[in-house]
């Protein structure tokens, strides 16, 4: 990324932009609240996905207009990339939201984070960005942690339909990985807020269209549900993903992917504290393996980011 792009990014996010690892970690922790808040809203995947994007727009539009005044508009050819990223994000949200009830709020977030393998792989195949040896060594342990945390190893997991929820969560991971890869790639050009706004608009439209065909979209879910989804929009879409969108282009792909593993940690804690979910010792051990492996993979490689 050029010095110009870095200065533009800093003008958007302030002091946190100088510490992209901190921004990514904070964004991941904000996003971790989404699973529990969506569960509390009691809405369908399409309804939750549509409203969390729609309700974020009043906060994102003014920020994008301020950025446009400083840096100009995002070129049309780049908007196509952000629209594709938004469509993938919608697929992730729809599938992942369905998995929340099926496999549990915390564990659905753990499963979707097989992105920790897929995003660096995409970076290697497309951008020729090789991950460091420590990351490659840690991959089997990261995968083992995902399997243990999913509950498959002991014949089940929390939630009403754990097997179907696992399938939905893994499919969500594919969409999630594509979204993260494109978001990071696009962010290298600067204009992070405008790009993320286009991502959010595309995700809202895709969620509405796809949601109508799958489990439906309730345009009048009630004020209580809208209140919970407004919190998802604030914590997940505005605070969480905007920080991730700004930080990801300034980090190596494997570092950003691993820092996003803070999301399942926060979700598991909130799932236990708010929803009364009780992961088994083996599932908790799987989460510990994920975090320990991630720490090993990134501790001595951050200077390469």
Residue-level pLDDT at 237: 92
Per-residue confidence (pLDDT) for residue 17, from 0 to 100: 54
What are the pLDDT digits (tens) for 63-117? 999 988 888 888 888 888 899 999 999 999 888 878 877 877 556 666 787 788 8
- CB atoms under 10 Å from CB of 147, counted, come to 14
pLDDT given for residue 155 in this prediction: 57
Report how far residue 110's alpha carbon sits from residue 290's, in angstroms, rounded to the nearest whole number. Answer: 9
pLDDT score recorded for residue 154: 65
Length, in residues, of the chain: 305
Structure tokens at 8: 């533009």
Predicted confidence at residue 272, as pLDDT, reads 75
Q: pLDDT truncated to tens, each residue of the chain (305 aa)? A: 333 344 444 444 444 456 888 889 899 989 888 878 888 888 888 899 999 999 999 999 999 999 888 888 888 888 888 999 999 999 998 888 788 778 775 566 667 877 888 898 888 898 888 888 888 888 888 878 777 776 666 655 556 677 888 788 889 989 999 999 998 888 777 788 899 999 999 999 999 999 888 878 999 999 999 999 999 999 999 999 999 998 988 888 888 888 888 887 777 777 777 777 777 788 788 878 878 887 888 776 444 44
Contact (Cβ atoms closer than 8 angstroms) between residue 255 and residue 301: yes
Instruction: Note if the pTM is more than 0.85.
Output: no
Among residues 293, 298, 295, which one has the least CA distance to residue 253? 298
pLDDT of the residue at 58: 95
The mean pLDDT value of the chain amounts to 82
- Give the residue among 88, 101, 90, 248 at the shortest CA–CA distance from 174: 88
What is the secondary structure of 10-78 as a DSSP string? HHHHGGGGG-HHHHHHHHHHHHTTHHHHHHHHT--HHHHHHHHHHTTHHHHHHHHHHHHHHH-PPPHHH
């Amino acid at each position: 990324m050029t010095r110009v792009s870095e200065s533009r990014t800093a003008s958007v996010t302030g002091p946190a932009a100088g510490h992209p690892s901190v921004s990514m970690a904070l964004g991941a922790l904000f996003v971790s609240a989404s699973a529990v808040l969506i569960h509390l809203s009691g809405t369908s995947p399409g309804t939750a996905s549509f409203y969390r994007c729609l309700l974020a727009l009043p906060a994102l539009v003014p920020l994008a207009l301020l950025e446009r005044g400083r840096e100009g508009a995002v070129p049309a050819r780049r908007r196509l990339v952000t629209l594709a990223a938004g469509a993938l994000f919608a697929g992730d949200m729809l599938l992942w939201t369905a998995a929340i009830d099926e496999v549990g709020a915390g564990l659905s977030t753990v499963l979707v984070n097989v992105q920790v393998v897929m995003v660096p792989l995409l970076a290697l195949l497309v951008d020729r960005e090789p991950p460091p040896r420590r990351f490659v060594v840690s991959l089997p342990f990261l995968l083992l942690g995902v399997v243990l945390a999913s509950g498959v190893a002991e014949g089940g997991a929390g939630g009403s339909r754990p097997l179907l929820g696992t399938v939905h969560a893994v499919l969500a991971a594919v969409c999630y990985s594509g979204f993260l890869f494109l978001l990071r790639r696009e962010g290298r050009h600067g204009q992070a807020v405008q790009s993320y706004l286009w991502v959010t608009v595309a995700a809202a439209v895709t969620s509405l269209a796809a949601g109508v065909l799958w489990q439906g979209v309730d345009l009048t879910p009630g004020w209580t549900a809208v209140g919970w989804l407004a919190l998802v929009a604030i914590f997940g879409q505005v605070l969480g993903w905007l920080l991730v969108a700004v930080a990801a282009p300034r980090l190596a792909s494997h570092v950003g992917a691993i820092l996003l593993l803070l999301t399942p940690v926060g979700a598991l804690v909130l799932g236990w504290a708010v929803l009364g979910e009780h992961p088994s010792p083996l599932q908790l051990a799987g989460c510990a393996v994920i975090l320990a492996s991630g720490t090993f993979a990134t501790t001595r490689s951050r200077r390469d980011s």
